[in-house]
A and B are shown apart, each in its own frame.
Chain A
């Protein structure tokens, strides 16, 4: 069998492995929904102010809430598989539409965060490993240690204090200047100015993570036999570092970038609520306050699925990057 068909088969297998995980997550979601006090009808009745028990019974029948649990579970599964995540009674809108509206903002924040964190993390880790045990290494290591221990929301608030309130360089919150109706290039500039602080805040933790990992990965690669061979061939240290070691050291960092997506989503809830960035995290924060469980569960389900998908993509990229990976 050629390598490409092997990879093809492997991808298929991994896709199949993802299905039970997603199913399990949907089932967990369903039980969480049932664990919560009161159902949708209680919420609706509360909203209306008054509802007779007969009317509530009628509503339960209408929503299928009088059915036994297994039946409800099947209905829920069917709904989720047809991408129907339920209805948000607070926003009076289907959950998917709400999520869809906010998705772009979160996507933008995450993409810029990943680029910043992975890019600078690789750079700093490389620098620390090359300048091992010098003051540069020490500074980078201490920086990583401290950011590792700092709560995200606090970093965000301190950023606002320093860069928005005192220096006035960046806006405190939101994604656009609501008062000004920018168009075209001005709009892009406006959004990027709003993007700076949330991105730096969210990326700091991952920057520290990737820096530490890149440093460790570089040091591990320096100990390998091929480095000795390269030295014996008379290659310069520069060439060994930037051509041989660097490429191999990048592999574990790529994997981690995939594994960390779940954590990144959690971080974005905090960062978005600090900066009022109108994405999914902010939506989750709002739904928390409005006790809008349907919406919260929808966001949770979507983010879990996102993690499964991203991990799958990373696995596939990894196969292509590293020909040593066994795909059987």
Chain B
């Protein structure tokens, strides 16, 4: 573990990314302390410029506080990003592990399915799924997970293929362990580092997809999110540029920080890869 951290901190950008994400998480957790009012509530003069009328980042055409929206929206973006990634990593591990471990017909079938899901244009597919299931947190999570698992499945399959014939796995077979136990407790722990790296980058993609969906009006109507703020603000672009601008900056900073963390994790978890380059 100490070794891991010493390798991670060698990548200064990744340390910075981690710092930023911790700040954003703290902001999301303390949202209702920072801005106790409901972010949908009208709290002041409409279309106030930033730093006027007591608004740090201005207000929108109805007098809602943009800064409050951003702080509360952080919760939504992070939550959806993490949960959707977790779900899709689980689906991916399931498909990839079975395909790689058993090979043959199972592999063929599972990989064909993966291929189909990889061919389908993912964003339009996500739009369709949310539109059909009606927008809500859970339908957004499901849609993002459904469109993003194939990458994980391919990765896990490759790792399983590489590990399944190693001596320690053969030893497990000789000991009479069940297939499921070998897959879960022996092979999977050996594949975790690339999964973690890919997973961290997927959180960033998930946040981008969520904001895109919310922008198109497919966000959960009862929950504040960054994409919603931008979507709602676009009609007043001419008179109030700040309503769209600041939530976008929030998305940009968050996604950038997560990408930096992903690269740092890659350096720390796959040190050999780094040396090769």
Which residues of A are interface residues toward B (Cβ below 8 A)?
A: 20-21, 24-25, 28, 32, 35-37, 145-146, 148-154, 157-158, 160-161, 165, 219, 262-263, 265-267, 269-270, 273-274, 284-285, 288-289, 291, 293, 296-297, 299-300, 303-304, 307-308, 311
Contacts and interface: CB of A to CB of B under 8 A. Distances in A.
A151 B134 CA distance: 23
A157 B260 CA distance: 25
Interface of B: 112, 115-116, 119-125, 127-129, 131-134, 204, 208, 211-212, 215-218, 227, 230-231, 234, 237-238, 241, 244-245, 247-248, 251-252, 255-256, 259-260, 277
Nearest to A267: B123
5 contacts: A154-B244, A154-B252, A161-B241, A289-B217, A296-B131
A311 B119 contact: yes
Contact of A269 (B112, B127, B251): B127
B130 to A, nearest CB: 9
Contacts of A291: 131
Contacts of A150: 248, 251-252, 255
Nearest to A157: B244
Given A151-B208, A288-B216, A303 B121 contact: yes
Contact of A154 (B119, B217, B230): B230
Contact of A288 (B134, B217, B241, B244): B217
Nearest to B133: A35
Given A161-B244, A293-B132, 4 more contacts: A25-B120, A36-B132, A262-B119, A291-B131
B259 A297 contact: no
A94 B273 CA distance: 54
B133 to A, nearest CB: 8
B234 A157 contact: yes
Q: Say what secondary structure dominates the interface of chain B.
A: helix
Nearest to A160: B237
A149 B252 contact: yes
B58 to A, nearest CB: 14
A149 B211 CA distance: 12
Contacts of A25: 116, 119-120
Contact of A32 (B128, B230, B241): B128
Contacts of B204: 149
Contact of A273 (B124, B216, B244): B216
Contacts of B251: 149-151, 154
B119 A21 contact: yes
Given A153-B215, A153-B230, A304 B248 contact: no
A263 B217 CA distance: 20
A165 B230 contact: no
Contacts of B277: 219
Contacts of A262: 119-122
Contact of B127 (A20, A160, A267, A288): A288
Given A154-B230, A157-B230, A300 B123 contact: no
